[in-house]
Amino acid sequence: MTTTSHVVALLAFPFRPFFLLTGIYGVVTVAAWMSHLLGGIPLPVGWSSMHWHSHEMLFGLATAAIAGFLLTAMCNWTGAQPLKNWGLLGLIGVWIAGRVAMWTASWWPLGVVAVVDLLFLPLMAVYVLRVLLQHGNKRNLVLAGILILLSLANLMMHLGFIRHDMVWLNFGQLAAFNLIAIMMIIIGGRIIPLFTVNWLRNHGGRPEAVKTFGAVDRVAMIAAVLLIPADFFPTIPWLAGVTALVAAAAVLVRLAGWSGWQARREPLLWILHLGYAWIVLALLLKSAAAFNLVTATAWQHALGVGGMGTLILGIMTRVALGHTGRPLALPAFATIIYISITAAAIARVTTALQFVDYRLGLILAATGWAMAFGIFIVIYWPILSRPRADGRPG
């Protein structure tokens, strides 16, 4: 197969390049961060390298994964043609420009860095809004709203970088964590029970075992949304603590109702249930942190490495198969991806809880994370860079 055909296939649908970029960036960012943190290798990132690290995980890695999923799923929701070819290449270029700006932040005026990095999310939000409104798809406008709010959270962090203000940096970071959690709660709440029902129906199971509770869903969403303003009142910590506890209870009830154990034989499904379970744990740890029972980094890494990392890989490994005309069967050795990200999350959270030696825990977590995203690249590069297996366009 020629290089030209690979390029044509890569630009045929948003999930193809953005999922590969997510995999690559997942390896590169953690390798660089660990080299800096444990090896003392300097990064040209300006001041507050810790916040640079969190920024790139939230606004670099996560946004690439969100773009790959959302711009693809939107075509199913609306019947719209996918963003492809030059339009897709342009959006990719904006994302890459943001990453270059953040990796060379100390070389430029911080205002220039901010402008370049801030372009991606608003552009994607405008495109998503336009497509959804053109096709009358009001149900999913909330996701476009989250993209806009994520843009504002990114702006807060950049104001913090420019002004050397830890308050703005922390507010932007917390807002981003909460908004990504809300997006995972929404998307997971739609696809996980649906995928589970379909699998049980096709494999002689009991699809009626999967239950959804409208009232509980609303409580989960309301509580998760309220975490955003609650975090803006650090002098009233119990407010965020109680809200997180309510959200955790509601999300747990949702997860239990989906009867994930019924589909335990299917890795493409149990990984999604496991990723959702990490959200529950993160919310519980967030509540505990509000009452000074654990450090705040525990819930942040439970959500970032556990929830975000697991769901990103779980969704990418499934979507890449289904949208390239392949059977929904995990490729050989790909289960190692799930084992590695789970080990990384456990290592990072237990390190934050001071159950494991700090240096050892970081090495184990980084190794598991890099293995998960690295193996994803190796196994899924041929799948994502070649035309559909069934000969259809896309």
Distance CA 176, CA 54 (A): 10
Structure token digits, residue 169: 């940096």
| Confidence (pLDDT) at 101 | 96
| Confidence (pLDDT) at 4 | 63
| Confidence (pLDDT) at 367 | 97
| Confidence (pLDDT) at 5 | 62
| Confidence (pLDDT) at 282 | 98
Structure token digits, residue 72: 């693809």
| Confidence (pLDDT) at 48 | 81
Distance CA 279, CA 252 (A): 9
Burial 186-212 (b: 16+ CB within 10 A, else e): bbbbebbbebbbebbeeeebebeebee
Distance CA 101, CA 107 (A): 9
| Confidence (pLDDT) at 392 | 83
- What is the model's pTM? 0.95
| Confidence (pLDDT) at 390 | 86
CATH of domain 3-385: 1.20.210.10
Tens of pLDDT along the chain (394 residues) come to 556 666 788 999 999 999 999 999 999 999 999 999 888 888 877 778 899 999 999 999 999 999 999 999 999 999 999 999 999 999 999 999 999 999 999 899 999 999 999 999 999 999 999 999 999 999 999 999 999 999 999 999 999 999 999 999 999 999 999 999 999 999 999 999 999 999 999 998 899 999 999 899 999 999 999 999 999 998 898 999 999 999 999 999 999 999 999 999 999 999 999 999 999 999 999 999 999 999 999 999 999 999 999 999 999 999 999 999 999 999 999 999 999 999 999 999 999 999 999 999 999 999 999 999 999 999 999 999 999 888 787 7
